[in-house]
Amino acid sequence: MKILKIVLIVLAFQYANAQQESKIKDVTVYLDGAEINRTATVNLNSGTSEFIFNGLSPQIEESSIQISGLKSASILSINYAINYLSKQKQSDSITALQNELKILDDKIQYQNDLISGYNEELSLIQSNKRLGNETEVVSLEKLKTFAKYYRTRITELKVETNASYDTINSFVKTKNNINKQLAEFNVDEKVQTGEIKLKLNSDKATELNLNISYNIKNAGWFPIYDLKAEKINSPINLEYKAHVFQSSGCDWSDVNLVLSTNDPNTNNEKPIVNPKYLNFISPYSNYQSQRATRSYNYKYNPLVKTVSGVVTTSDDGLPLPGASVIEKGTSNGAQTDFDGRYTLKTTKGNTLAYSYVGMKTEELPIHSSIMNVALDNDAALDEVVVIGYGTTSKYTNTGAVATVKSEDIVSSLYGKASGVKIRGASSVKSRSNLIYVVDGVPIKASAARNIDPNSIESIEILKDTSATAIYGSRGSNGVILISTKNTSQKRVNELGVVIETGITNTRFEIDKKYTIPSDGDVTVIEIDQFSVPATYDYFAAPVLNENVFLTAKIGNWEQYNLLPAEANVYFEGSYSGKTNINPGAIADSLTISLGVDPNIIIKRTQLNDFKKTSFIGNNKIVHKGFEIEIKNNKQSDIQLSLYDRIPKSQNRDIKIDDIETGTAVYDKEKGLLKWILNLKSGETDKVKYSYSVKYPKGKRVNL
């Protein structure tokens, strides 16, 4: 028995010695996920030593673990595991609330004990209330005394019982409020922690200062912008703020922060384009054509609790009443009203699915409190005619190492050649499946086209075993390694943030240390600010919305490294609402809506002279004409961009004729009308346009 105790003590001592303290030194926070860098000092004996770094996040991506600072020591093994016996340390605020819950439970139990005592005494009094017996007559004085005691004590007991119940109800309400607050803190009931077991070998005893890095998923940051314009024709002040959150199970205490626009959790696997074959299908089948994965670059915003917006059609911008908006993974949803508007309070989901009969379903991460969505048609075609054009090529795979000139690759990337060909690759038919690696980072060919040719330092070709040994089967078609010159740009802004702009992402090195608890709550960090030159304009499209919007157009916006995000708008010192900034739009300038100006009145009416229908043979002709009236009630002159449209036919039996556009600039391809109007203060202007629609009698057209 003594020997067993000694063995257990020795094992416990060895296990205690194996436990190593580590501290988070700095954190790189991605849009989705984070890289944690820890430091630890270990004393290494000669031979094999094993160390356990515990108290880590239970959400570590095991394949991302890296160890450095080994000097001459070598790694024998690295293992990551979950320790279910070790508890996560809660933050002080959460611990205080949980302790308060325990105190309230004790107080509730005390009141329940009092109620039990009151009930026992009441039962005792009621069971002994009979006076005297059959042979003894109770005096009146004695009866009065007992009756008074009975009445008084019973009343006291009931009053005390009710008071205890009231106290319990008060405690229960307080408990409910505390539990709601804990829910706001996203307290995870799981108590397990992660630990890394590291086995090292060394020829001599030494002390090592280890760096341990790994990635986690339950963290991230998202941008929020404040746009402030004092008056028209003045620059816009743009404040760029980062909202950082994490619920990794470990607090980040006094750490150096770097915010990166990179997203390591994005699916980086390029798609494979296979042939598509057409065939006849049943008209009753549920076949749906496959749509390309959209590239929105929107990220989930956990702060959004209520989402509102408008659901429209993508082809004509008309609202879709009765469209379904569902929080994916839940039963929580809403339907759009007659104007296509919806409002939905979010619960635990992070994606909204928009659907409508005859439309393709759209899924978007909950990234903003305003989410306007345009759905695409999903109607099947009655007849499909396919004409194919292509070229075929023959290649002889000799197995020899063929060289590819750098200028040939550059020419191919920028559209000056038909493609990059690597002789000796495993499949000459799949030359479009080459892997492009820029400065050690695999990227898409489309992204490689964005590289400035002048920034390329060298290009190296890998093929056959040299490619597959590093990149696996993905590299069987060849790998193009592009090394660039040190073109990353660094600057320090007025906030002291070091901003490094690389080829594929931007890094913001925060100049002071931060403590971010593991409660999912948000820490706001101001990372940049700009005074942005802007061109102001008023915009109106009364065919869709009879409001006039003030817009600001920002040119050369790429230099600001903006991300798609929600923006708070302040104009002339007052809060004007919210808008969305989408720098991913393909345009030369970035247009921001600053809100509705009620001092500009616009009215669109149908002209009576055109409210008529005529018939010629088997055709029906509908005449349409509209007048748009604009009045400037502002104290200053304005310039207004006014838009409307003339419908376009999608059927050869529907003809659009007699088009009169007046003073508008008319885009015949799209049917869009545009007027640029300059109105003085108090001035009114009118514009008109008309057209006719001819189609067979007995048919209906969506006029």
Please name the residue that has the structure tokens 């150096």. 256
Whether residue 642 has pLDDT greater than 90: yes
Query: What confidence category does residue 396 fall into, taking pLDDT thresholds of 50, 70 and 90?
Result: very low
What count of other Cβ atoms lies within 10 Å of the Cβ of residue 600? 20
Whether residue 617 has pLDDT greater than 80: no
Query: What confidence category does residue 445 fall into, taking pLDDT thresholds of 50, 70 and 90?
Result: low
Mean pLDDT of the chain: 79
Section 179-199 average pLDDT: 76
More confident residue, 650 or 503: 650
Whether residue 398 has pLDDT greater than 50: no
Specify the pTM.
0.60
Which residue, 250, 325, 328, 245, is CA-closest to 33? 245
pLDDT score recorded for residue 430 = 42
Section 257-264 average pLDDT: 87
455-485 CB burial, b ≥16 within 10 A, e <16: ebeebebbbbeebbeebeeebbbbbbbbebe
Please name the residue that has the structure tokens 């900034």. 581
In the chain, what is the straight-line distance between the N-terminal and C-terminal CA atoms, in Å?
A: 95
Q: Identify whether the C-beta of residue 685 lies closer than 8 Å to the C-beta of residue 639.
A: no
* Residue 440, SS3 per DSSP: coil
* CA atoms lying within 13 Å on the CB side of residue 220: 19
Residue type at 178 in one-letter notation: I
Which run of H or of E encompasses 147?
A: helix 140-184
> Topology of domain 306-375, per CATH?
Immunoglobulin-like (2.60.40)
User: What would the two tokens of residue 424 be?
Assistant: 């000796």
pLDDT score recorded for residue 285 = 56
* Candidate from 126-135, 365-374, 641-650 with smallest mean pLDDT: 126-135
Distance CA 325, CA 342 (A): 8
- The answer for residues whose C-beta is within 8 angstroms of residue 604's C-beta and 6 or more apart is 542, 543, 546, 626, 627, 628, 629, 644
Strand ranges (E), 533-650: 535-541, 545-555, 565-571, 574-581, 589-596, 600-606, 612-616, 619-632, 638-645
- DSSP structure string for 508-561: EE-SS-EEE-SSS--EEEEEEEEEE--EEEEEEETTTEEEEEEEEEEESGGGG-
- Residue 356 DSSP label: -
Query: What confidence category does residue 585 fall into, taking pLDDT thresholds of 50, 70 and 90?
Result: low
CATH architecture of 600-696: Sandwich (2.60)
pLDDT exceeding 70 applies to what percent of the chain? 75
* Cβ burial, residue 700 (10 Å; 0-12/13-18/19+): exposed
- The answer for residues whose C-beta is within 8 angstroms of residue 537's C-beta and 6 or more apart is 550, 551, 552, 553, 639, 640, 641
Which run of H or of E encompasses 37?
A: strand 34-44
Q: Identify whether the C-beta of residue 313 lies closer than 8 Å to the C-beta of residue 377.
A: yes
Section 639-666 average pLDDT: 91
Which residue, 395, 422, 417, 398, is CA-closest to 407? 417
More confident residue, 481 or 646: 646
Section 417-438 average pLDDT: 52
Query: What confidence category does residue 444 fall into, taking pLDDT thresholds of 50, 70 and 90?
Result: low
pLDDT score recorded for residue 290 = 61
Section 414-439 average pLDDT: 52
Strand ranges (E), 124-266: 193-202, 206-216, 219-229, 236-246, 252-260
- The answer for residues whose C-beta is within 8 angstroms of residue 399's C-beta and 6 or more apart is 424
Distance CA 352, CA 110 (A): 48
Q: What would the pLDDT profile of 12-67 be if each residue is shown by its tens digit?
A: 444 444 678 899 999 999 988 999 999 999 998 999 999 999 889 988 988 889 89
pLDDT score recorded for residue 268 = 59
pLDDT score recorded for residue 403 = 44
pLDDT score recorded for residue 185 = 65
- DSSP structure string for 3-32: HHHHHHHHHHHHHHHHEE--EEEEEEE-SS
pLDDT score recorded for residue 39 = 94
Q: What would the pLDDT profile of 526-549 be if each residue is shown by its tens digit?
A: 998 888 888 888 999 998 888 999
Q: What would the pLDDT profile of 222-240 be if each residue is shown by its tens digit?
A: 899 998 888 887 888 889 9
Whether residue 281 has pLDDT greater than 90: no
pLDDT score recorded for residue 395 = 30
Whether residue 613 has pLDDT greater than 60: yes
* Residue 638, SS3 per DSSP: strand
* Candidate from 193-202, 308-317, 619-628 with smallest mean pLDDT: 308-317
Whether residue 469 has pLDDT greater than 70: no
Q: What would the pLDDT profile of 4-22 be if each residue is shown by its tens digit?
A: 554 444 444 444 446 788 9
Whether residue 471 has pLDDT greater than 90: no
